[in-house]
Amino acid sequence: MSLFRKIFGSSISPSDEDKEKENSKYFTDTDMSIDEQFIYNFKRNGGKFLYCENIEEVKEQFENILQENDWYESNVLCYEPKLFSILDENKLSYEKSANPKFLFSYCENLIAEEGSILFSSNQIKQLKPHDLPVNIVVVARTSQILAAKSDGLTSIRKKYERDYPTNITAIKYFEKAKEEDFTQYGSSAKNLYLLLLEDL
């Protein structure tokens, strides 16, 4: 059984969840692995995390998301040719889609220290976060989890060598602030699902 399945399995009872919240008061970031730190911070920011062991589980979880939100026969914003087959299988329109229900995308990296997702022009072209649909579904791999944003930028430099992407953007807030929170000023909250595929 995978480390992620053991730690973040979807079958957590409410009483266990209360214990987990109680324990987190005494559980510092230094006690966690980078993977655990990312998931903890991502969920704390309001992100929805779905662990997948293989591509079949990614497709299954994607269908569950469509069903949960009634997004069948919707327009989708997607710039990733490798993801088109999943959209085709679910009869979703992604060519010149007006008023898309959600963005379906890969990402550059997952940043553990703040639980954020790093995008570039390769995934979102020149769109700013507030121009993106409110709903986002991201497919990422466990090997993309890095400790800090600076590691993400270094990874992008190494990956692309010469043809650097532009519009490098981190999205961090995945739910509306319950009260006026000055730390979220100027950011647009997204309803974000992360399909995290095990590849280590």
- pLDDT, one tens digit for every residue, the chain (200 residues): 455 554 555 444 445 555 455 555 444 555 789 999 999 999 999 999 999 999 999 999 999 999 999 999 899 999 999 999 999 999 999 977 688 999 999 999 999 999 999 999 999 999 999 999 999 999 999 999 999 999 999 999 999 888 889 999 999 988 764 444 444 444 568 999 999 999 87
Do residues 31 and 104 make contact, with C-beta atoms less than 8 angstroms apart? no
* pLDDT computed for residue 22 by the predictor: 52
* CATH no., domain 48-197: 3.40.50.10420
Cα distance between residue 149 and residue 170, in whole Å: 9
Which residue from 78, 170, 165, 95 is spatially nearest to 126, judged by alpha carbons? 165
* pLDDT computed for residue 113 by the predictor: 95
**pLDDT tens, position by position, 42-90:** 999 999 999 999 999 999 999 999 999 999 989 999 999 999 999 999 9
DSSP string, 131-166: GS-SEEEEEEEGGGEESSHHHHHHHHHHHHTTS--S
* Whole-structure pTM value: 0.81
* pLDDT computed for residue 115 by the predictor: 96
Do residues 80 and 112 make contact, with C-beta atoms less than 8 angstroms apart? no
* pLDDT computed for residue 30 by the predictor: 59
Task: For 175, list phi and psi in degrees, rounded to 5.
Answer: -160, 155
In the sheet with 169-171, reading across from the earlier edge strand, the strands are 145-146, 109-111, 116-119, 169-171
